Structure 1
Amino acid sequence: MTYAYSFHGLTLSLPFPCPFLPRVETVSAPDVTVVYGPVARELEHAMATDDSWAAGYCWQAAPGRYLLKGGMKSGRFLVEGGTSITLQRNENAEDKRILFHLLHPVTAALFCQRGLLALHASTAHTPAGTIALCGRSQAGKSTTLAALLQKKGCAMVSDDITIVRCAAHDRVEVVAGSSVMHLWDDAAYGIGLDISGCDRHPVRRGKAALTAPSMPSSGATLLRKLCILEPGTGKIVGVSRVTGADKLDALLECVYGPLFQEEHPGLFPLFSATAEQADIFRIRRPESRWSLDDVVSVILDA
C-alpha cells in the first residue's frame, strides 16, 4: 500500500503513513516516490562527505545522488535525480526518526537535485510579508518562528527547511512544508506555550514537537525578507542590512546541504532573483539575556 501527500508543492508517494503532511488523492505519477530497497553503505565516487554525526546522521553526496546514514534507529536513504528515494530500514528503526530524516536533510538534498534553493531556515507569513529566519543550528530559528506565531498571529510556512522556487515575472516564492515545528522546552515555556503531552523530537530529546498554525499545503508566497540570526556580544539586538554582492554570499551561508555546479547549471538565476527580491539582514541577539521580544520587533520593523 502507498500513501500520497502534498510536499513543498509536489506530490509524494510513501510506503508508510506520515502524520506531518496533508494527504492527497493517490496519483498515478507522483513527483517523488519513496520505496523500500537495498542501499549501499557507501556512495560510489562521492564528492562531499560529512561523517561527524554532529547532526545525528552522516551523509555522502555527488551530483544527482545523496546518501544519508541515520544510525541503528533509522536507516539508509539514497536520493537520486530529485525524483526517487530508496530507504533501507534498520531492524530497530523508529518511525519518527525515519520521518525526521526524510523531512529534513533528505528533503533538502532532493530539492537541491531538482534545481531549487533549499535553505536552512524557518519561515513565517507575517503582516510584513513572508520572512525566512536563517542561521546555524541553535541560532534560534524555530524559537523566533514560534514567537511570531504565538505573539503576532503569523502563519508558519515551514520549520528548519525552506524551499525557494521561481515564480512568474522573475519573482521567487516559498512553498509550504510540514505543519510540525520542534522547539526546545525552555524556549516553549518562555514564549508561553503548553507542551505537556507533546511528542518529543526523535533525535534531540530536549525538544517538543508541536503542530503550528500554518499555510495551506499547496500555498506559495513571495519571499519578502531573509534574516540571518547570529549570537551577539552586546546588550541590545543588533541589525545590519546586507547589500550588493554580499547578498549572494549571505545566501550561500544559508543553503541546506551540499551544492554541485554540475547539478545546478540554472541555479545562479534563482540565487540572483532571490538576492534581488528579498531584503537580507543580519540580526545579532544578545547571549546574556532573553531578548526574543526585541528580536521579533526588529525583524518585523527592519
Structure 2
Amino acid sequence: MTATYRVFGLDVRFPREVPTLRGARIGDDTAADVHVAFAPVAPLPVMETVNDDLDTSWNAEGLTIAVEEVGRFLIRGGHTIVVDPYPGVSQAEIDLYLAGSIMGAILHQRAIMPLHCNAFACGGAAVLLCGDSGAGKSTLAAWFEGRGRPLLTDDVCAVTFDPKGTALGHPGMPRLRLWDDALEAMERIGQAACSVPWADGKFELEMSSDRVRQPLPIAAIYHLREAEPDSGFAITALRGLPAIDAITSSIYRRRIGDLVGHTAGYLQDTARLATGTPVFRVERTWGMEHFNREAALIEDHAIALCSQIAA
C-alpha cells in the first residue's frame, strides 16, 4: 500500500504509511515529486562524515548516506530515495532519518533552501524561529500554537521565492517533538503523544488540525541563542553580513548542500532572503522559569512587525 504526503512543497510517495507524517497525507492520485523505495543500496567508501552521524559518499548515481545501525539511503536527482535498512532497525528510526536528513538532502538536490527552524502564522505571513538544537524552537512553537497561532512546520522549513522575489515558507513536519518538561509547562501532558524511542524523555505529538497547509510569505526570522550570564533578554535587528550569517548558520544539513554543489546557490539565497526579510537575534535565558515572559515578548514583537508589514 502506498501513501503520499505533502511536505516542504513536495508530494512524496512512500511504499507504506509513515506515522510521523500522518497529518500531511494527501490522495495517491496526484503525480508525486519524490518516490521512496526499499531496496539494496551498495556500500561505498565513506568520503565524508556529516554532523557526526551521516557517512556520505557520492558518484554518478547520486548521494549515498549511511547511518550506523540504521541503514543506507541513496538520494538521486532530487526525486528518488532508495532505503536499505539494517537488520533489526525499527520503522521509527528509519522514519526519523527519512523525514529529516534524507528529505533535507532531497531539498538540497532540488536547490531548495531548508532552514533549521520552526514556523508559525502571524497575520497571514510566516514567522520563522531558527537556532541550534536545544535553542527552544519547538517549545516556543508549542506555546504559539497554544495561543491560537497555527503552525507551519517543526524543525525544518523549506524556503523558495515567488516570481516577484517574495520569500515563501512551506509547510513541513505536521508534528512537534517536545521534552517532558516542555509538555508539562505547556499543559499538554494529557494530549495524545508518542514517546520517541531513541530519546528518553522526548515525545512526539501532532500539530493542531488548523495547522497551515499552504506556503506563506515570510514576515520575519528570529535567530535564538542563549543570553550571556551578565545580560538578559534582548531582540536585536540584524542587517547586512550579520543577518546573512544568522541565516547561513541555520541552513539545515548545510554541508550536504556543499556536497551536491549548491554552495553558491544557497549563499545567493541567504543574501536575497536577508535583503528582503527582517532578521533578528533573540538572546534568551535558558530555563522554563523564564519561558512565558520571554515568549510573550517575542509574540508582542512579531505581532507589531506583522501589523506594520500588513499596513
Q: Same fold (TM over 0.5)?
A: yes
Q: How far 1:213 moved relative to its partner?
A: 1.8
- Write the deviation string for residues 173-228 of structure 1: whole angstroms up to 9, x where unpaired: 01111211100000111122125652112421211111112666741101111111
SS at match of 1:255: coil
Assess if the C-alpha contact under 8 Å between 1:59 and 1:68 holds in 2. Answer: yes
Shift of 1:143: 0.7
What SS does the aligned partner of 1:181 have? strand
Pick closer, same or farther for the CA change 1:91–1:195 going to 2, 3 Å: farther
Question: TM-score if structure 1 supplies the norm length?
Answer: 0.88
> Counterpart in 1 of 2:52?
52
The letter of the residue matching 1:295 is E
Q: Does 1:100 align with 2:96?
A: yes
Q: Is the 8 A contact 1:7 1:217 kept in 2?
A: no
Paired residues for 1:107-186 under 5 Å: 107-127=103-123, 129-150=125-146, 152-186=147-181
Would you say the 8 A contact 1:149–1:156 is kept in 2? yes
- Which stretch of structure 1 is more off in the superposition, 257-266 or 196-205? 257-266
State the secondary structure of the residue aligned to 1:290.
helix
Deviations 1:95-146 (A, max 9, x none): 1111111111111111011101111111111248411111111111111111
- Identify which range, 7-16 or 26-35, moves more after superposition: 26-35
Query: Residue 237 of structure 1 aligns with which residue?
Result: 233
Report the equivalent of 1:16: 16
Partner AA of 2:284 in structure 1 = R
Q: What pairs up with 1:1-302 in 2 under 5 angstroms?
A: 1-19=1-19, 20-21=21-22, 22-27=24-29, 29-42=31-44, 46=47, 48-50=48-50, 52-53=52-53, 58-60=54-56, 62=58, 65-72=62-69, 74-127=70-123, 129-150=125-146, 152-195=147-190, 198-213=193-208, 218-232=213-227, 233-234=229-230, 236-257=232-253, 258=255, 259-260=257-258, 262-263=261-262, 266-287=265-286, 290-302=289-301
Moved over 6 A (4+): none
- Cα deviation for residue 62 of structure 1 reads 5.0
Q: Which 5+ residue runs of structure 1 have no aligned equivalent? A: none
Q: Look up the SS of the partner of 1:189 in the other structure.
A: helix
8 Å contact from structure 2 (residues 151, 211) kept in 1:
no
Which ranges in structure 2 are unaligned for 5 or more consecutive residues? 302-311
Read off the aligned partner of 2:131 and give its amino acid letter.
Answer: G
Deviates more, 1:137-146 or 1:286-295: 286-295
Distance of aligned partners of 1:224 and 1:68 in 2 relative to their CA distance in 1, 3 Å threshold: same
Give RMSD over aligned pairs.
2.5
| Contact 2:111–2:262 (Cα < 8 Å) also in 1 | yes
Q: Partners of 1:240 and 1:295 in 2: how far apart?
A: 14
DSSP 3-state at the match of 1:136: coil
Alpha-carbon offset, residue 87 of structure 1: 0.1
Give 2:309's aligned residue: none
Distance 1:216 1:137, change over 3 A: closer
In structure 1, the residue matched to 2:306 is: none
Deviation at 1:278, TM superposition (A): 1.9
* 1:39-82 residue CA offsets vs partner (Å, 9 max, x unmatched): 233356x3x423734xxxx232559944333333x322121221
Counterpart AA for 2:262: E
TM-score w.r.t. the length of structure 2 is 0.85
